[in-house]
Amino acid sequence: MTKILMVCLGNICRSPLAEGILKSKLPNSKFKIDSAGTGNYHIGDLPDQRSIKVAKKYGLDITDQRGRQFSVNDFDDYDLIYVMDESNFENVIKLARNAHDIAKVDYILNEIYPNQNHSVPDPYTGGIQGFENTYKMLDEACEQIANKLLYNS
Ligand code: 4NP
């Protein structure tokens, strides 16, 4: 079982989409996929209605997800930890205990733009178009992750 965690700030906009998209591309018998936020603002909350709407447009139901906060235990529970932006990266790395923990963490867009540390911009304060853009970026990155995990390992 390969275990993958998607991380953003609130765990209501970007990482729930990343979780839903990657789940749709990998068999759940072999991959555990979850998401979390570095912040504690939305613990127990549904994903943002705009994320729910965009996911639904592409055939994904993410309404089973609830917000939770990233914790140090996630370094033990997951093999790969994908962050959306630089602030998520710094907040996750702050909790790392050793080089093994740090090695699990990467920017999700490095899967398509290696070593460039590009961010998936936070769409929270904008309109629905930002959520569309987020979906497209994450779909491309997750396609790459799924191909890598299924065929190159
Ligand atoms: P996310 O977006 O990190 O993609 O879930 C945000 C959602 C909520 C907040 C910030 C970012 N917030 O400050 O409440």
Tens of pLDDT, residue by residue over 129-149, are: 999 999 999 999 999 999 999
* Protein residues whose CB sits closer than 6 Å to any atom of ligand 1: 8-14, 37, 41, 122, 124
For the chain, where are the E strands, in sequence order? Answer: 2-8, 31-37, 80-83, 105-107
Active site residues: 8, 14, 122
What pLDDT score does 15 carry?
A: 99
The residues spanned by each domain of the chain are 2-151
Residue 62: how many CB atoms within 10 A of its CB? 20
Residue appearing with tokens 């965009």: 54
Is-above-0.95 flag for pTM? yes
Candidates 3.40.50.2300, 2.40.160.20, 3.50.50.60, 2.60.40.290; CATH matching 2-151: 3.40.50.2300
Q: What is the pLDDT of residues 73-117, one digit of tens each?
A: 999 999 999 999 999 999 999 999 999 999 999 999 999 999 999
**Do 45 and 62 form a contact (C-beta atoms < 8 A)?**
no
What pLDDT score does 152 carry?
A: 76
- Per the DSSP assignment, residues forming a β-bridge with 2 are 31
Q: Is the pLDDT of residue 8 over 70?
A: yes
Q: Where are the alpha helices (H) located in 5-127, listed in sequence order? A: 14-25, 49-57, 74-77, 86-95, 99-103
From 41, 45, 131, the mutation candidate for ligand 1 (largest count of ligand atoms within 8 A of CB) is 41
Query: Which protein residue has the closest C-alpha to ligand 1 atom 6?
Result: 10
Angstrom distances, CA of residue 36 to CA of 4, 19, 82, 144, 152: 11, 10, 10, 21, 27
